[in-house]
Amino acid sequence: MPKSKNRGGAKAHRKRVQRRNNQIKGVQRKFQEEYQKAMMEQLELMRKQLSGETENTEEVMSEEQPLNIKL
Task: Report the 3 state secondary structure along 19-55.
Answer: HHHHHHHHHHHHHHHHHHHHHHHHHHHHHHHHHCCCC
For the stretch 11-40, pLDDT in tens is 899 999 999 999 999 999 999 999 999 999
Name the amino acid, one letter, at 57.
Answer: T
Confidence check: pLDDT of 55 > 90: no
- Whole-model pTM: value is 0.54
Can you tell me the distance from the alpha carbon of 46 to that of 23, in angstroms, rounded to the nearest whole number? 35
